[in-house]
Amino acid sequence: MNRFRLVSFLILITMSCSLIAQNPFFSGGGKRDTSRTIEMPGRQQESDGKASIVAMCKYKLTAIQRDLRDALYQQKERAGSLAGKLYALLLVFIYGFIHALGPGHGKVFISTFSLSSGIKTMRAVLGGALVGMLHGIAALLLVVLLRLILKLPVTRSSELIRSHVEVVAFVILLIIGIVLLIRSIGAKYHEHSRASFWGLVLSIGLVPCPGAVMITLYGFSVLQNPVFTVVMVLTMGMGMSLAISLFALVPSLLRNAGFLANRNVWKGLSIGGAILIILFSSLYLIALL
């Protein structure tokens, strides 16, 4: 019952706060939002060296995402046939996977929790999968709500709501981090609260994925096939789930590799994980607010 109350509370908070936009095109409300002006790094602030291998990989991932999106868009002519639909689903699945491999989706929170808590591997993986599916479902519901029910401009409104939810999610993550820290300091060797984990999963997952918003709009407006749109978004969610689950699975396997039999190491890791969650969520909130 307590767990249910906590989860309900987190959802309520997530759905009800002020709006902050992040899409650089859509904040400002008809004038420059100078409070959020970001200085472009000049040449003098750039690193001298060439891009590293990691940077080149990130660049490649970006290029692949673009190619997949282009290929999916070209499928609009063939989307009436079964083969066309299946190919489109394959593309959105891979797109979802690659998209979620890139920066974001709160993978660091999932990884940190998975590594530093005593949560079971299967539960960590399911949590990661749920984040991916929720990202897609939240996007789908958002578009349906804005376009079909409220008849509002989708792009601008969805960005406002999404970024608003993101801010609230970070507040929740901060609270979860603090709770974990307090518990870790006085804790014996035991699992972190499951409610904290599912709270973390929900707060990350309820942030609608803008990529999934675009796929939803594509399905509704270009393909004009609502049922297939739902299937596409869920398939993209499965792709994201696979990627995010990997980020839950690997730390969990490492943790269970036998290094953590010692209680002090365990405690140190739990405290360290909680501090990291606090640190990451605080940094992001500071950047947003």
In the window 7-46, what residues touch other proteins (CB under 8 A)?
Answer: 22-34, 36-44, 46
Residue 65 interacting with other proteins (CB under 8 A): yes
Would you say 18 or 50 has its CB closer to other proteins?
Answer: 50
Geometric angle at alpha carbon 112, from 106 and 115, rounded to 5°? 140
Residue from the set 145, 217, 242, 253 that interacts with other proteins by CB under 8 A: 217
Given the structure tokens 């080149």, which residue do they identify? 56
Report residue 280: phi and psi, to 5°: -65, -45
What number of other Cβ atoms are within 10 A of residue 108's Cβ? 14
DSSP-assigned letter for residue 265 = H
Geometric angle at alpha carbon 29, from 25 and 31, rounded to 5°? 85
Residue 185 interacting with other proteins (CB under 8 A): no
Residue 82 interacting with other proteins (CB under 8 A): no
Question: Are 158 and 182 in contact, with CB atoms under 8 Å apart?
Answer: no
DSSP-assigned letter for residue 26 = T
Would you say 5 or 60 has its CB closer to other proteins?
Answer: 60
Residue 66 interacting with other proteins (CB under 8 A): yes
Q: How far is the CB of 2 from other proteins (least distance, A)?
A: 26
Through-space distance between the first and last CA atoms of the chain, rounded to whole angstroms:
34
Would you say 9 or 73 has its CB closer to other proteins?
Answer: 73
Geometric angle at alpha carbon 203, from 244 and 5, rounded to 5°? 130
CA distances from 211 to 34, 96, 104, 214, 222 (A): 27, 8, 12, 5, 16
What number of other Cβ atoms are within 10 A of residue 220's Cβ? 20
**Taking CB under 8 A as the rule, which mask of x and - marks residues 126-165 in contact with other proteins?**
---------x-----------------xxxx-----x---
Residue 224 interacting with other proteins (CB under 8 A): no
Applying the rule CB under 8 A, the residues between 256 and 285 that interact with other proteins are 259-260, 262, 264-265, 268-269, 272-273, 276, 280-281, 283-284
Residue 207 interacting with other proteins (CB under 8 A): yes
Max CA pair span of the chain: 61
Residue 77 interacting with other proteins (CB under 8 A): no
Interface region with other proteins, contact rule CB under 8 A, candidates 58-66, 85-93, 188-196, 224-232: 58-66
Q: How far is the CB of 71 from other proteins (least distance, A)?
A: 11
